[in-house]
Structure 1
Amino acid sequence: MRYVAIGDSFTEGVGDALPDGGVRGWADRLAAGLSARLAERGEPLQYANLAVRGRLLHPIVTDQLEAALALDPAPDLLTLNGGGNDMLRPGVRLDRLLRLTEHAIHRCAESGVRLVLLSGADPTAHLPLGGLVQRRATYLTAGLTDLSTRHAVTLVNVFGDRELRARGYWAADRLHLNSRGHERVAGLVLHSLGFAQAPATDPPGDLGPGGGLGADARYYREHVLPWIHRRLRGRSSGDERAAKHPAWNLVAPTEPTGAR
């Protein structure tokens, strides 16, 4: 099997830090889980990840998608998540995001590649203006559900996973999942593909974002203000960044934590 992931920081793995300063993330964990299952059949897994933090949906379903479909040999499986960065911007057209997603569905169907769509996890209980973001994300997830039904495409509704809303699954920036959160998403996708049981309910406790006025002040200073400054300068956290796995990599069949 050849599996390629496209998307933004969620799929790149931001929040799931590695000792060398890189990031792992649910897609890397999914690749490890798939490799472990396929090894039982004597089959190898090749994996690429073209996701880059900060990307809007349009470049994801144009630049990244076309690069993914052009990989040689061609992919068998492609996961797509996007739109989270679009929803944080004023004037976003949610109907346009759904049309872009439908374009990706058609392109994968034309290429004979199995597409799995993911909605993003729900961070809105911990975010400034979280109510606005939640309304947009609810609308977008409903639209993805409709698209997946009409086109017979697998949708992993991560947004609807209530357990992931617990603070203990989130990184300090309150916008990205931490290692436990990414681990759970990988389990949800493995389950949707028929390779594992549904992840167990195992809340990590009331840890993570939060902790009073001092913690809130630090959060705004360290995370919100830098984000605002980037927006005012027209910059993105992904500027000058390249995909971490732009070509096929053979994934060793190691069992990811919590995959069973």
Structure 2
Amino acid sequence: MAPDRNISSVGFEKILAGTPYPTSNHSSGYYFSPDKGRVLKEYQLVYITEGEGVLETKSGGVFPIRQGMIFVLFPNEWHTYYPNYDVGWSQYWIGFCGVGVDRWMENEYCSKESPVFKVGINGEIVSLFRKAIHIANEEPSLFQQVLNGLVAYLVALMCSIDKNRCVDNDDFSTKINYACALMQELIDQPVSMHEIARKSGLGYSLFRKLFKERMHCAPVQYYQELKIRKAMDLLTNTAIPIKEVAYQLDYESPAYFSARFKKQTGKSPVEYREEFGIK
């Protein structure tokens, strides 16, 4: 029998270097002192996409945490965690609880003794967290059921990646994966591919060459396709005015957005939205 999960919290926060942790933006009801730690009544998945820090739990001890790791916080288990003060980190999280969840989590190879999963900077996992945040904010019909399924897939995916990861993971592949995930995170901001290359630890010429070899398109083309896919999602799942979609995705004007969208999809944003009966 499938567990009855209830999604209690989901979000993203970037902790800058030199910033005390937790910040004042920490979710209400979840604030804690890193020195004293805390005990939750739910599970939480915390995904670090940038930076580094420390996790300590009663059953597992101390774990160094680096970008590309997801750690599981177990209910009724003392823990504390925090970013390196001189480095900071970026964290996604999602909390859940419910009937049958304990047995289900154990079946997915999660244990209090080994709560850390190495998944790398994975674009699909970043997308799942971002989708969960969007769904939780919009609260569409049956949103808890949708989030329930999303968490099930997320946990299975992180376990699968961790168990099957290559021992000789190619460093260039890791950096390109990081670049793809970074583009996902910055989808609504002005982005320079030179800056993406720098943050990925590569010179721009080498970055562009490796990116094309791995993704079969130029970095700018990949980023534009991400933006169009995000626009398609906003046009079909929200009633946000088209001009607001354009500005939200940092297009220079609604007219330019419409031209790019039609070139990519063969339809204008108005025509695309009308197919789904959204006025």
Under TM normalisation by the shorter chain, which class is it?
Answer: under 0.3
Q: Give the TM-score taking structure 2 as reference length.
A: 0.26
Q: Which has the higher contact order (CA 8 A, sep 6+)?
A: 1
Between structures 1 and 2, the one with greater strand share? 2
The structure with the larger Rg is 2
